Structure 1
């Protein structure tokens, strides 16, 4: 927690919305003595920002692959964001199953279910 506070004091002001979200998540998790921080991410940048603030608990980074389609072909992003997360302090990456659901709410619900099972 002391290291997190020092990093937050030296962060640029104003912060980007994503940076503000990450620092607030760490501050809240530290003050509530949470067991872990759960982050849903596609490319890994959100989880890496949370790790930047060095929380006092592990960060479970659930990487949700993006399924894309054009009129002829379906493709799914690879596991590279999960692999790249391995070098960041405190990040524990897991790769969720991809989804072809139309809404982000349904994909988020599936990813949360996946995270709670692991």
Structure 2
């Protein structure tokens, strides 16, 4: 079955598919739609090994997948860790589970971070994601990767 899937995937013209999808994209685009399509365009142009998306809810990765890149999309779901007085709360893994059905997505639940700043937490998640991608063979040292994430609390 895997051989059949690989052969079928090798016959798809991803650049033409991307152009066809862009022709039907809404104008004007939302900022999230624009960032997602730009990430796929960049990934196609540079021929990266992987698109890495840090997400909390999964909507960004689904929009990236809509543009059908030829490379895998690693959807790193970063749970939100909050404190309320003396209670620690962590968002659930539902976004990762929901991403399992979307073509091209490889959902992974990242470890929650208790870093003091959002910038530190983002950096920690990126390091974890790239280490995971290398361990699983999605990319290797020296490969280019497109990463789509929010910087800090922006």
Query: What's the TM-score, normalizing by structure 2?
Result: 0.74
Unaligned runs of 5+ in 2: 1-14, 133-154
Q: Which has the larger radius of gyration?
A: 2
Pairwise CA distance, 1:35: 1.0
Residues 74-112 of structure 1 show CA distances to partners (whole Å, capped at 9, x for unaligned) of 110111111111111100011110012232111111111
Give the equivalent residue in structure 2 for 1:48: 62
Alignment of 1:1-118 (within 5 A): 1-118=15-132
Unaligned runs of 5+ in 1: none
Between 1:94-103 and 1:25-34, the stretch displaced more is 94-103
Partners of 1:102 and 1:9 lie apart in 2 by: 43
* Aligned Cα root-mean-square deviation (Å): 0.9
Secondary structure in 2 aligned to 1:102?
Answer: coil
| Higher relative contact order (Cα pairs below 8 Å, separated by 6+ residues) | 2
Residues 26-77 of structure 1 show CA distances to partners (whole Å, capped at 9, x for unaligned) of 0110111111101110111111110011111110111100012212311101
How many residue pairs get aligned? The number is 118
Partners of 2:120 and 2:40 lie apart in 1 by: 26
